[in-house]
Amino acid sequence: MAELTGIAAGLAAEHALIYAYGVAGAQIRDKSARSLAATAEQSHRDLRDALTEHLSAVGVEPPSAEAGYTLPTPVTNEDEATALLAGLETAATTIWRTATGVSGPDDRRRCVAALANAATQAARWRAIRGDKTTAPFPGA
């Protein structure tokens, strides 16, 4: 079951991302950015649900969401919101990349898919911000 610790850590990150999207989404006014936020949040909700189901099915207690999270920066406007989301998605790539190394083959595929999703979302938020969009090795 040790190989599932990476999946559990990833699930905990998904809980935090969902919380952050709720906070940041309230500050996003641009229509296309709001649409991106809604789509990204839903993708994290879907992943959370799938990971929770998977861990439960193999007899591992999935980590629960916290009642609240301390965000790394204040979020009082759209610029702060998009910066937060770009940063947290980038941080998620590190968690998922680490998880690929401690997972069995089936779970590794889940981790790589989650890594790709977080890297894509991070690049989209950087593009909206006008920042450099590429990261040569997401999660490294």
Percent of the chain with pLDDT over 90: 83
- Give the per-residue pLDDT at 4: 82
Give tens-digit pLDDT for 62-112: 999 999 999 999 999 999 999 999 999 999 999 999 999 876 788 999 999
Locate the domains of the chain by residue range: 2-129
pLDDT bracket for residue 26 (50, 70, 90): very high
Q: How far apart are CA 67 and CA 27, in angstroms?
A: 21
Q: Tell me if the pTM is above 0.85.
A: yes
- Asked if residue 55 lies in contact with residue 10, where contact means CB atoms within 8 angstroms, the answer is no
For residue 73, the 8-state DSSP code is: S
What letters, b where the CB count within 10 A reaches 16 and e where it falls short, cover 19-36?
bbbebbbebbeeeebeeb
* Cα Rg, the chain, nearest whole Å: 15
Q: How far, in Å, are 59, 66, 68, 72, 114 from residue 9 at the CA level?
A: 16, 13, 17, 18, 12
Q: How far apart are CA 93 and CA 63, in angstroms?
A: 19
Class of domain 2-129: mainly alpha
- Asked if residue 123 lies in contact with residue 139, where contact means CB atoms within 8 angstroms, the answer is no
pLDDT at 1 over 80: no
Q: Hey, how many other C-beta atoms are within 10 angstroms of the C-beta on 61?
A: 8
pLDDT at 60 over 80: yes
- Give the per-residue pLDDT at 15: 98
pLDDT at 138 over 80: no
